[in-house]
Amino acid sequence: MKLLTSLMVGAFFMFGAVSAHAQDFDRGLAAAQSGDFATALKEWRPLAEQGDAGAQANLGVMYDNGQGVVQDYAEAVKWYRLAAEQGTVEAQYNLGVIYNKGEGVTQDYAEAVKWFRLAAEQGYAMAQYNLGVVYEFGHSVLQDNLLSHMWYNIASANGYKKSSERRDEIATKMTSADISKAQAMAKVCMSSGYKNCGW
């Protein structure tokens, strides 16, 4: 089972733009959504260079997918990292995917887990699902059915339907006591705002 590796292909992120450049960001978003990537690039690049995390994340998507620019994973990583370091959950998730796949960077599962974990702690269901996979198969972590079940359960509760299938499958390898413990761990994790999640 591989980690979920689909990026938000063609999906650009709408951020609550509070800066004076909100209109430029919105023009870029409207352009990207209509397929006018040249205008999106023109609007977002100056914002990204000034540190706007939303523009940085969306430039990452453009370079990752080759939309309006030559596909360049190293450039995608650059923009994702800048946005991810500012706490942008979508950029954190996409950076995790990039490290998992080794596109534009040396493949590094531990680095992928780091970024998935940061996104998961913000409630991002696809990152939570990927952590379930990581713990189920021991990708750069010790294999742990309890943590795997916990993350699948959390991702399912947050609306990622594929997670419930994986959770139910891993449950067949667990005792009923372990399943109860994993469910309790999921409740604690969610009620703590993803701060007390078994690590």
Kindly report, residue by residue over 37-87, the tens digit of the pLDDT: 999 999 999 999 999 999 999 999 999 999 999 999 999 999 999 999 999
pTM summary value: 0.85
Give the separation between CA 43 and CA 39, rounded to whole angstroms.
Answer: 6
DSSP H or E run through 199: none
Contacts of residue 161, Cβ cutoff 8 Å, sequence gap at least 6: none
Segment 160-167 long-range contacts (CB within 8 Å, at least 24 positions apart): 160/125, 160/126, 160/128, 160/129, 162/4, 162/129, 163/125, 163/128, 163/129, 163/132, 166/1, 166/129, 166/132, 166/133, 166/136, 167/132
How far are the Cα atoms of 45, 78, 167, 169, 174 from residue 164, in angstroms, in the given order?
A: 39, 34, 5, 8, 15
User: Which two three-digit tokens encode residue 190?
Assistant: 């969610």
pLDDT at 3 (0 to 100) = 33
Cβ pair 113, 96 in contact under 8 A: yes
Low-confidence ranges of the chain (pLDDT < 50): 1-10, 17-19
pLDDT at 132 (0 to 100) = 96
Give the separation between CA 172 and CA 45, rounded to whole angstroms.
Answer: 49
At residue 133, the 3 state secondary structure works out as: helix
Cβ pair 90, 127 in contact under 8 A: no
pLDDT at 25 (0 to 100) = 86
